[in-house]
């Protein structure tokens, strides 16, 4: 039996490794039905990811290569992570949700090894989706970095796995970012992230659908959903969820004291007085500028930092 002074460090190291290990997360509770609106985005995702995973033999017979990587980008709170989880559920695929903290290490070579092991694990459990949340923290633009750090070799490992000798058959790399112009250009060329799907702020009809989802199960007979949708212009999906939760909490405080209180539109007006859109109008214009730049370039490979005005960049990247 090992002495205590040797057992404790080993246990601590084991726990730390478990915390940093990329987790396979459950996705059964997430489907496209849990996302209000965005029919065009859903169809684009079905064509790019769901169809190749559900019909691999057809793609192989016709010699059509399925996209290796899909990048979801847009303002904070529009539902990029929710889309990623729903995609895995629609494909009935294993879902590996990877954050920078899961793979980054201060020890030389450890981060690169974690990337390699992650792809090996995904290939063994295919069909699988590897989802990199906040990709810019893992693969920043090398030309824009003042000092090279460990992320340079980590990016090289990621590129190597995506371009590996063994094809990523039934393994799709999915990623999300709020700032696509800060990603390394080597990632965005065709053959790596083949498709870049922009998720905008919800329009009026989409806000109605999102409100209906979040109001489900609540006593909202006296709430005009169309009125709320008009009052929540430039609200993201996360903002709408916060609005519904705040209004319901205000009503619940009154209801616990007086059971005759009903969830009326007045509570939503009170919540709207305290909640503002998390994405500013100038940020919305900046994202539309990025969108137009991508569309004019005919793809992402010709996009460069110099074409995106730094003075118009959003100040919040949460």
Residue 262 burial class via C-beta count within 10 angstroms: exposed 0-12, middle 13-18, buried 19 and up: middle
Q: Which residue has the tokens 């996209």?
A: 67
What's the token pair of residue 230?
Answer: 């008009």
DSSP line for 137-202: GTSB-TTT-SS--HHHHHHHHHHHHHT-SS--TTEEEEEEES-GGGB-TTTTSTTTEEEEEE----
* Residue-by-residue pLDDT tens, the chain, 318 positions: 555 445 445 545 554 554 444 444 444 567 888 888 889 898 988 888 888 888 888 888 888 888 888 999 999 999 898 998 888 888 888 999 988 777 877 787 788 888 989 999 999 988 899 999 988 888 877 776 654 555 677 888 888 888 876 777 888 999 999 988 888 888 888 888 888 899 999 999 999 999 999 998 888 877 899 999 999 999 999 999 999 999 999 999 999 988 888 888 999 999 999 999 999 989 988 898 888 776 644 444 444 433 444 445 544 334
Which pLDDT does position 266 carry in this prediction? Answer: 92
pLDDT in tens, 145-177: 654 555 677 888 888 888 876 777 888 999 999
What's the token pair of residue 199?
Answer: 């998720």
pLDDT in tens, 279-301: 998 998 889 888 877 664 444 44
Long-range contacts of 212-220 (CB under 8 A, 24+ apart): 212/36, 213/34, 213/36, 214/240, 214/241, 214/244, 214/245, 215/244, 218/244, 218/248, 218/263, 219/262, 219/263, 220/263
**Residue 193, strand partner residues:** 69
- What's the chain's Rg over C-alpha atoms? 22
Contact between 188 and 82 under an 8 Å Cβ cutoff? The reply is no
Report the largest interatomic distance among the alpha carbons of the chain, rounded to a whole angstrom. 70
d(C-alpha 258, C-alpha 103), whole Å: 51
Reduced to 3 states (helix: H, G, I; strand: E, B; else coil), residue 72 is strand
d(C-alpha 309, C-alpha 117), whole Å: 38
Long-range contacts of 110-117 (CB under 8 A, 24+ apart): 111/150, 111/153, 111/154, 111/157, 112/153, 112/154, 112/156, 112/157, 114/20, 114/21, 114/22, 115/154, 115/157, 115/158, 115/161, 116/157, 116/161
Which pLDDT does position 294 carry in this prediction? Answer: 63
Which pLDDT does position 270 carry in this prediction? Answer: 93
Which pLDDT does position 105 carry in this prediction? Answer: 75
Tell me the domains of the chain and their CATH numbers: 13-201 (3.40.50.300), 204-274 (1.10.8.60)
């Amino acid at each position: 039996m090992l002495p205590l002074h040797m057992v404790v460090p080993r246990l601590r190291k084991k726990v730390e490794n478990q915390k940093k290990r990329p987790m396979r997360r459950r996705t059964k509770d997430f489907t496209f039905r849990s996302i209000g609106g965005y029919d065009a985005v859903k169809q684009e995702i079905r064509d790019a990811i769901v169809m190749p995973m559900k019909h691999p033999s057809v793609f192989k017979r016709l010699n059509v290569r399925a996209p290796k990587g899909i990048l979801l980008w847009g303002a904070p709170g529009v539902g990029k992570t929710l889309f990623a989880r729903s995609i895995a559920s629609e494909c009935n695929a294993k879902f590996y949700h990877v954050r920078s903290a899961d793979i980054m290490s201060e020890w030389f070579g450890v981060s690169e090894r974690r990337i390699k092991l992650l792809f090996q694990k995904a290939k063994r459990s295919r069909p699988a989706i590897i989802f990199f949340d906040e990709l810019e923290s893992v693969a920043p633009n090398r030309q824009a970095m003042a000092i090279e750090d460990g992320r340079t070799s980590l990016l090289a490992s990621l590129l190597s796995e995506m371009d590996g000798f063994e094809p990523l058959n039934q393994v799709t790399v999915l990623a999300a970012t709020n700032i696509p112009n800060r990603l390394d250009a080597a990632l965005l060329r065709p053959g790596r992230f083949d498709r870049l799907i922009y998720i905008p702020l919800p329009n009026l009809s989409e806000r109605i659908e999102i409100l209906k989802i979040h109001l489900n199960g609540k006593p909202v007979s006296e709430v005009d959903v169309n009125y709320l949708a008009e009052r929540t212009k430039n609200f993201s999906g996360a903002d709408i969820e916060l609005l519904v939760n705040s209004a319901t909490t205000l009503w619940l405080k009154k209801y616990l004291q007086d059971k005759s209180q009903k969830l009326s539109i007045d509570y939503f007006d009170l919540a709207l007085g305290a909640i503002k859109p998390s994405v500013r109008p100038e940020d919305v214009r900046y994202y539309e500028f990025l969108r137009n730049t991508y569309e004019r370039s005919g793809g992402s490979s010709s996009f460069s930092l110099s074409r995106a005005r730094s003075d118009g960049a959003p100040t919040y990247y949460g």
